[in-house]
Structure 1
Amino acid sequence: MAGTKMRFGAFIAPFHPLAENPTLAIERDIELVQWMDKLGYDEAWIGEHHSAGYELIASPELFIATLAERTKNIRLGTGVSSLPYHQPLMLADRINQLDHITRGRVMFGVGPGALPSDAFMMGIEVAKQRDMMDEALDVIVPLLKGETVTAKTDWFTLNEARLQMTPYSRPHVDIAVASQVSPTGATAAGRHGVGLLSIGATNAGGFNALASNWAICEEKAKDNGKSVDRANWRLVGPVHIAETAEKARENVRFGLEKWLYYFREVAALPLAPDDGSDPVDALINSGMAVIGTPEDAIAQIERLQEQSGGFGAFLQMAHNWADFEQTKRSYELFARYVMPKFQGLNENRKASLDWARSNRETFMGQAMAAVGTRVAKHIEEKGTDNIRPEILEAMGIKKDKGAAE
């Protein structure tokens, strides 16, 4: 019996340095998801950002609508929609429309908003963003179930609001709440009985909080008469692999420093020490990133399984560390050699190979006996002419006298 099939995908913010054409950068993000679709990845999550110049996708819904026409199987999620930025009915209606357009392939990731600069431009107090997310989620979940909602807060009002179309997915689209270190996301996911999206699962704080955040999620679900499933828990971490560790390290020199610059100077997250040490070594040694071989990626996922107690999907954080061809190659190697390990794809193949090997002597004996029977019948009818000497020797038969050598 094959094991549980873990899902795999990518979390695409994205991160594009300033030197290149932004139109082509967005097109490359589209091409990456198309490539993932061909390779058999399960999910792609698309971010929403409005400032700071690197994370260029302002509307994940538009991006998903485009990809829905260019892909066949991969599921497409908002990763994430920043709830304080949207009137809840309007956002729910757009997601519901995508649910129909994609025939159920859309997923709805939500969060409070990652960049303070986005909130500043809209006059939203950063201190209120998490409360606003909770208030929005309280009405969006029932709306996406097709229910009628009346609610009033200090930033939106709903009067007998409901979606015109019955949801395509039942009871609603797949919903996941973003989580970093704080219990905010886990609390919201548990309260509504929806999925959890651990974006910083491999950095020190996020890694250490995995087990506790899931415990909070389960506790809150129980308190609210809901249930949560580890299969709907997704962990995110950066990966770049190549045929050798040396090649992977060489590949990421292409764009790693520009990625680190963004987080050190703009997003202000301590992802790697800025002390003059080799950032590749720092990322690997801290456990935050995989820069190596498929075996290293397997070890990272096993490490996350042990720390978390089990989860349903691993998402690679898209990062543009390597040039696009080497990036595509990394995703291909991951699909070929990492995903099968956690999806039970080769368990029956291995069992079949082991069975054939252990019974080889019996099977080969039967095969030789069958061949011998046919050879003997031929000799009986035609003699030993046209039978190769080594075959006769193997059967212990001497050539007929006078037969041509």
Structure 2
Amino acid sequence: AKSEAIVKKMDELGFDTFWSAEHHFQREGYECIPNLLLMYVHLANLTKNVKFGCGFNVNPMWHPLRLAEDYATADILTKGRVIFGVGRGYHSREVDTFGVPSTVIDSDANREVFEEQVEIMMKAFNQQFFSHQGKHYQIPPEVPYRGYTLKKISLVPRPINLPVETYQPIVSASQHAMDFMAKHGIKGIIGGGAATGGASDEVVKRWQETLAKHGKETELGGDLIIGIATYVDETEEKATNMGRRYFEENMKMFGPLGFVRGLSDQQITALSSGSAARSAGLPTMEDAVKSGAWIVGPTERITERLMQLQDRYPGLEEMNVGASAMSTEQSVILEQLDRFGKEVMPTFKNQAK
């Protein structure tokens, strides 16, 4: 019901895309959507225009052909309103339970499986008949079928929108990962969701250089979405105070998973203890605002800061604006979407006309 209310509000206000993530077994109450594509087919039937971004489908928890089939089906049923996304998987409780090491248990093995899976899915999307012979997958198996030996196979159905627009998170920003993304035409998302902090100039510049090396010239910020958390209120001080508990709950969730930069083991342990946390020197909401990871305050200030980001990265066409963080109540999310959609977004929508 919460997701339904959010996407209806976003559709009403003219937001472009609703993004969410695939996760499993989260008894804590956060990140409780195990199948994005299934949910998005439902949400598309409740809305008219808003798109739905997979941020991200976690490949190692799928067979690549099942994921490719499900995406193609969702693409057809929603008439192209689902955006594909691929991720490697950092929750050991999730990924390792499905039989592949997560990034925190064996990053190299995880990467090896992930990259082979992406290779298979891109073949399945883009080739009418394909085969794949790799370390982890032999597709198809050479077995007898209806009087002949199987050599190639077809994805049925295939997506109606080709090439498939695909996104992947840029977190560690390794050159290997960037080259892999550019090779397959995968776009990047920096910040937002689990990833704290905004984009760094060095990473954005290196992404532009990587695209150029692979034959695609872009302006700085091209083929990227940058995620920023926001909180709209009458003053920066009030917005900072109102957003503080959501920021702290987000840190409590993602700090132990390695997504809050610079935390010591002692600080991570202190996160679960209210009294110890207060004296542990943990990052504060003020730190997040100062660094630009959160943009808070009256609509004029938020508009100005987003304009600065746009000027800094002229190729940037989309920003992922986080109107919610862990534990944000539905009423607060809807109120924040309403204020942002009516008071901030029109400035940027008018630019696009």
TM-score band by shorter chain is 0.7 to 0.9
Letter in 2 for 1:122: F
CA distance 1:346–1:58, shift in 2 (3 Å) = closer
Partner of 1:255: 246
The one of 55, 59, 62 aligned to 1:86: 62
Partner of 1:150: 131
Partner of 1:268: 258
Which stretches in structure 2 are left out of the alignment for 5+ residues?
A: 141-151, 268-279
Letter in 2 for 1:41: F
How much has 1:258 moved relative to structure 2? 2.0
CA distance 1:74–1:231, shift in 2 (3 Å) = farther
Partner of 1:297: 302
Partner of 1:36: 10
- Partners of 2:343 and 2:262 in 1: how far apart? 28
- Partners of 2:223 and 2:11 in 1: how far apart? 20
Q: Which range is displaced more, 101-110 or 291-300?
A: 291-300
Partner of 2:160: 168
Letter in 2 for 1:196: G
Partner of 2:344: 338
- 1:177 and 2:168 correspond: yes
- 1:134 and 2:126 correspond: no
TM-score after normalising by structure 2? 0.79
* 1:185–1:196 contact (8 Å) kept in structure 2: no
How much has 1:203 moved relative to structure 2? 4.6
CA distance 1:307–1:118, shift in 2 (3 Å) = farther
Deviation by residue 1:20-59 (Cα, 9 ceiling, x = unmatched)? xxxxxxx212321221111100011221112453211111
Partner of 1:221: 214
Partner of 2:315: 310
Percent identity over paired residues? 22
Partner of 1:46: 20
- Partners of 1:149 and 1:333 in 2: how far apart? 49
Q: Which range is displaced more, 315-324 or 288-297?
A: 315-324
* 2:198–2:292 contact (8 Å) kept in structure 1: no
Partner of 1:280: 285
The structure number with the bigger radius of gyration is 1
TM-score after normalising by structure 1? 0.70
* 2:197–2:288 contact (8 Å) kept in structure 1: no
Partner of 2:187: 195
Matches within 5 A, 1:20-31: 27-31=1-5
CA distance 1:119–1:323, shift in 2 (3 Å) = closer
Partner of 2:34: 58
- Partners of 1:129 and 1:228 in 2: how far apart? 30
- Partners of 1:337 and 1:218 in 2: how far apart? 35
Q: How well do the aligned residues superpose, as a CA RMSD in angstroms? A: 2.9
* 1:87–1:156 contact (8 Å) kept in structure 2: no
Letter in 2 for 1:191: K
CA distance 1:217–1:332, shift in 2 (3 Å) = farther
How much has 1:64 moved relative to structure 2? 0.7
Number of equivalenced pairs? 316
* 1:256–1:321 contact (8 Å) kept in structure 2: no
* 2:251–2:260 contact (8 Å) kept in structure 1: no
CA distance 1:154–1:166, shift in 2 (3 Å) = closer
Which stretches in structure 1 are left out of the alignment for 5+ residues?
A: 1-26, 348-405
- Partners of 2:49 and 2:261 in 1: how far apart? 33
The one of 320, 323, 332 aligned to 2:329: 323
Q: Which range is displaced more, 195-204 or 91-100?
A: 195-204
How much has 1:277 moved relative to structure 2? 6.6
* 1:251–1:326 contact (8 Å) kept in structure 2: no
Partner of 2:145: none
Partner of 1:14: none
Partner of 2:75: 99
- Partners of 2:327 and 2:306 in 1: how far apart? 20
